[in-house]
Amino acid sequence: MKNTFGQSVAVTVFGESHGPELGAILDGMAPGIPVDEAFIAHQLDLRRPSGKISTARKETDPFRIVSGVFEGKTTGTALTILIPNSSQHSKDYAATRALARPGHADYTAYAKYHGFEDYRGGGHFSGRITAGLVAAGAIALSALAGKGIYVGTHVAQCGPVADAPFAADEETLKQQLKDLNQRTFATLDDDAAQEMTRVIEKASAAHDSVGGVLETAVVGMPAGVGEPWFDSLESVLSHAMFSIPAVKGVQFGAGFDLTCGYGSQFNDSFRMEGGRVVTTTNNNGGINGGISNGMPLQFRVAVKPTPSIFRQQETVNFMEGTNADLQIKGRHDPAIIHRARVVVDSMTALTLCDMLALRFGTDWLAPTQPTQE
């Protein structure tokens, strides 16, 4: 589906960078999930640009929920979140509308929508649209937490700087995930955050941009969720991740590193621990044969450097079919890696809610398991 993702729990996004409102619909979520507006606001804040390493465009994200919530809880029907855009100066876009910004979707949008696309500020392709995903994702994260399932993401790498790795121990990991959610620049190691910030500032000063790697973990996931073939947990999670703008790679567990060694190094041995099946390592990222094995889900997402840079670039005027030079104006982020992580958390939570509801039914995520009719 074009703007809808999910089978039992589904999210739909809509809006454009310079339209009046954007948002999301969260459909099929179990009834009775408390909707914590402060937590939604907190999540939207994590996504918002802030400080000098992010664009100065002031995005305030007030939001309102116009359906699907009654007396503070989900009703189980379509939940609609609207986020108004603050007034934009759109006049500057018409002049350069046919100049394809390198690394952006201007030309491909034209090839698909034949010039009818809203080209202002990236239109429907704008990263701004992820605000809707983050708001819907906040409710999905709450629902999962109610079942003891926690999701979190850190900036594992930015430029040449690497963060500390996730803890192998599940209890420690769970605490790390909760802590990460409180951080504006989400690293496990404080020094890493500072170094990464310097990398970004340096890129900014050089009129350039950087990308990075996000690493996500999920603890508390029950075993037995996912499908052997087309709806493998890797398939649906990667489908969700590659929906996020600027994501160009996804790997589970040891991922591409698995290709550099031997089976004997990477096979995760099973052991009994406290009456439960565990693995002694987690090179498969908590997934065997497309199905969760009860260990933490773990995966990495590659985020490319922001394509908007303040240098003259070669391009084409795709309406005239001529070569052209382009100098992007305005203010743009020299990095989005620190903001993208909350989008990754959100899409992860939405995807897992869907997979869990498909597996265990639409009531499973409800805080108290209701008696079956």
Interatomic CA distance for residues 99 and 104, integer angstroms:
11
Nearer to its own copies, 113 or 191 (CB): 113
Q: Which is nearer to its own copies, 153 or 157 (CB)?
A: 157
Kindly state the smallest distance separating residue 367's Cβ from its own copies, in Å.
10
The answer to whether residues 341 and 214 touch, using CB atoms and an 8 Å cutoff, is yes
Rank residues 151 and 340 by Cβ distance to its own copies and give the closer one.
Answer: 340
The minimum distance between CB 20 and its own copies, in angstroms, equals: 5
Q: How far is the CB of 372 from its own copies (least distance, A)?
A: 7
The least distance separating its own copies from the CB of residue 44, rounded to whole angstroms, comes to 18
Nearer CB in complex with its own copies: 84/175: 84
**C-alpha to C-alpha distance for 233 and 284, rounded to whole angstroms:** 12
Residues 343 and 187: their CA atoms lie apart, in Å, by 16
The length of the chain, given as a count of residues: 373
Q: Least separation, in Å, of the C-beta of 185 and its own copies?
A: 16
CB of 137 or CB of 211, closer to its own copies: 211
Shorter beta-carbon distance to its own copies: residue 182 or 274: 274
| Dist CA 47 CA 67 (whole Å) | 23
Where helices occur in 31-187 by DSSP H, the ranges are 37-47, 91-95, 106-113, 130-146, 170-180
Cβ atoms of residues 140 and 81 within 8 Å: no
b/e per residue 18-43 (b: at least 16 CB within 10 A): bbeebbbbbbbbbbbbebeeebbeeb
Whole-angstrom distance, CA of residue 82 vs CA of residue 14: 10
Name the residue nearer to its own copies (CB basis): 182 or 269: 269
Q: In the chain, what's the furthest Cα-to-Cα distance?
A: 69
Minimum Å gap between C-beta 18 and its own copies is: 9
Give the chain's radius of gyration (CA, Å): 21
Residue 159: which of 211, 214, 103 has the closest Cα? 211
* Bridge pairing between strands 73-74 and 322-327: unpaired
Q: Which residue number, 175 or 231, has a Cβ lying nearer to its own copies?
A: 231
What residue has token string 């995807």?
351
Q: Does residue 34 contact residue 17 with C-beta atoms inside 8 Å?
A: no
Minimum CB separation from its own copies for residue 160, in Å? 7
Give me the least distance between CB of 287 and its own copies, in Å please: 8
Q: At its nearest, how many Å lie between its own copies and the CB of residue 60?
A: 17
Which CB, 146 or 255, lies closer to its own copies?
Answer: 255
User: Rounded to 5 degrees, what angle do the CA atoms 366, 368, 371 make?
Assistant: 100
Contacts of 340 (CB under 8 A, 6+ apart): 130, 214, 244, 246, 247, 301, 303
